[in-house]
Structure 1
């Protein structure tokens, strides 16, 4: 009887180890999140917008081109900021952050103006509402307490 009890205990222990080893839920902070989930391509973003706002194929193509141009512009700006950052002192970094934030806000306003020309005012309002909702969700996730355990 003791042998069966001990055998069942060992089997239970081994099963619990194998289950915990297979846990693939992302940890807080996205440490094991695949890189492809981190940033969507211009095409994926355009398709998501098209699905959300029922855009025509022509509008979707124009939005995709706009997103590609913006991605290239953003990549160039980030490269420039990284180069400058390596050469800066700590106090200058705060100034650079503020400049970068202002530039990003300016770029977003320009993007919204171009996007509104493509998709129209009504769909742009829908898109802004959707974007605002997503930003609130992200803020809630950032402010949520870290999960316990594990």
Structure 2
């Protein structure tokens, strides 16, 4: 399964997730994204989803295709974005700075044993999956949380529409 040549630069893309105490706006999980500028022109958005029972899930399997093709909608944890909107997936338009970084945030419920998946979506309509990052999150507490360093985006050669309805 060979990825498209322009996607080969995604291999070097990395994500860093930092958890902090919830702010007055309710932001519980801060996400900082770092990506190669050579890939930035292909990425239209980033979609964030969270699943319970994280240790029972295999990241390698979840990264082979769009998450929405592999799990039932009710398995997705309801998240709240910085704008107050809630959904089973949060989508952030790609707005990478010159340094290849982007700030995002989301509220996730206090709990244990999550898996956080960040999918890079193409600019095309309908979007297609360019790659994803799968990360185990042991717990989210009501107080300050330790930062989580996310795994690099894994290339995906599967054509699928990753769109998850709210």
Q: Is TM (by shorter chain) over 0.5?
A: no
TM-score, structure 2 as length reference = 0.24
Which entry has the higher C-alpha Rg, 1 or 2? 1
Name whichever structure is richer in helix by fraction: 1
Greater relative CO, 1 or 2 (CA 8 Å, sep 6+): 2
Name whichever structure is richer in strand by fraction: 2
